[in-house]
Each structure stands twice: as C-alpha cells, then as structure tokens.
Chain A
Amino acid sequence: EAQVTQNPRYLITVTGKKLTVTCSQNMNHEYMSWYRQDPGLGLRQIYYSMNVEVTDKGDVPEGYKVSRKEKRNFPLILESPSPNQTSLYFCASSLDGLDYEQYFGPGTRLTVT
C-alpha cells in the first residue's frame, strides 16, 4: 500500500531533550516536506527536500533540522525542543514537488513540557 508513515504518532518530552521524528514513504517520491499545524495559525511549512541531499527552508524553520540521505526517509530533528514547538506535525511527499499532488502522513502530536 502506498503510504507515508511517521513515528512516533504521539510524543511527550521535556524542554531541551533532543528528539527525532521519522518520516518514510514507499512511493519513490523525489519531494518530501514537513509541516506543523497549530490552532489559529493553520499549516505552516518547516522544511522541504526536492531530492536526496537537497533541502531548503520553509516558512518556520527555526529550531528544526532535517536531513535527506536516502530518497525514502526525511527525519525531522529537534535539537533542543521548547514548549513553543508543541504542535501537530505532518510529513508529506510528492512525485516531483511541482506538478503532482502531495500525500500526507497521519501526523505526530508532540508535547514539550
């Protein structure tokens, strides 16, 4: 089944403790992206990747890191999480990031205390 998977689905952590949210797709898509969704602010793009080893900032990249060493994986890294990073995070992928629709993962709900 073609899908985007994220792990973990739920995470509660403390301020400053490094964490990684994994994202994987099995559709051989070139493009992958991370978003966060907050009440009243909607969905905002964090980082995206047009291909392996090619990443670029979205609209809210501060406090996040990404890497794209393999086509199928695009992990989101929070080196020192803070309470304002409490949010619902979505990973998405697309065939080429231009002309094709984006497929979204189920989301990761992160709480930073």
Chain B
Amino acid sequence: KQEVTQIPAALSVPEGENLVLNCSFTDSAIYNLQWFRQDPGKGLTSLLLIQSSQREQTSGRLNASLDKSSGRSTLYIAASQPGDSATYLCAVKRADSWGKLQFGSGTQVVVTP
C-alpha cells in the first residue's frame, strides 16, 4: 500500500530564505507527482506536476525534483516571501490505478517578514 509522508509538518523561515519541502512515498510505481498549495479555508491550487519520466519541473521561483527510485520529491521555493505562507501538499498518482490520487499530510509554512 502506498504511503505518502511529508516531514516536517510545520516550519517557519525568515523572508528571503530558500524553502525546501520534502515528500516521500513508499511505492516507486507512480505515474506522476503533483505539488499543491492550500491557503487557510480555501481549496487547493496546483503548483507543479512532474511525470514519472521527469527529474524536475520549474515554474518561476518554484522548482520540484523527483527521484522515483528513492521515493522522494523536493519542492524548492527560492527567496521566500510572506505571501508564500500556506500549507504545501504533495500527491502521487499510482501507476496501477490512474484515477486515484494519494496525498501527503502537508507541511505548514510560515514566512516571517
């Protein structure tokens, strides 16, 4: 059974520092992995999607890497800003069940001015 873990559950960084968020999964047979952002009381916003054949994906200050063999993905946010404060979730799509998406429990990020 696939398990998706995000550690730490929360972190606080000063503005300007780079953010490094981790996502681990136990079964390397994934189809793709997606990173989301969730603001309090709001829905999820997709940030990046990495296919299993890709090593990384970039969008602006965001960069996500994927190492399928070790069961890890990392989301890097460069030069963090207070507006980056949110909960970040990763989700994996299983290769054996395309319609299913399995989420990690998220990392709550606070960027202090």
Contacts and interface: CB of A to CB of B under 8 A. Distances in A.
Interface string B19-37: 0000000000001101010
Contact of A104 (B44, B98, B102): B44
Q: How big is chain A's contact interface, by range?
A: 20 to 34
Contact of B101 (A99, A102, A103): A102
A43 B103 contact: yes
A50 B104 contact: no
Interface of A: 4, 31, 33, 35, 40-45, 48, 50, 56, 58-59, 90, 92, 97-107
29 contacts: A33-B99, A35-B103, A40-B105, A41-B105, A42-B103, A42-B105, A43-B89, A44-B103, A45-B100, A45-B101, A48-B99, A50-B98, A56-B99, A58-B100, A98-B93, A99-B32, A99-B51, A101-B49, A102-B34, A102-B44, A102-B101, A104-B36, A104-B43, A104-B44, A104-B45, A104-B46, A105-B43, A106-B43, A107-B41
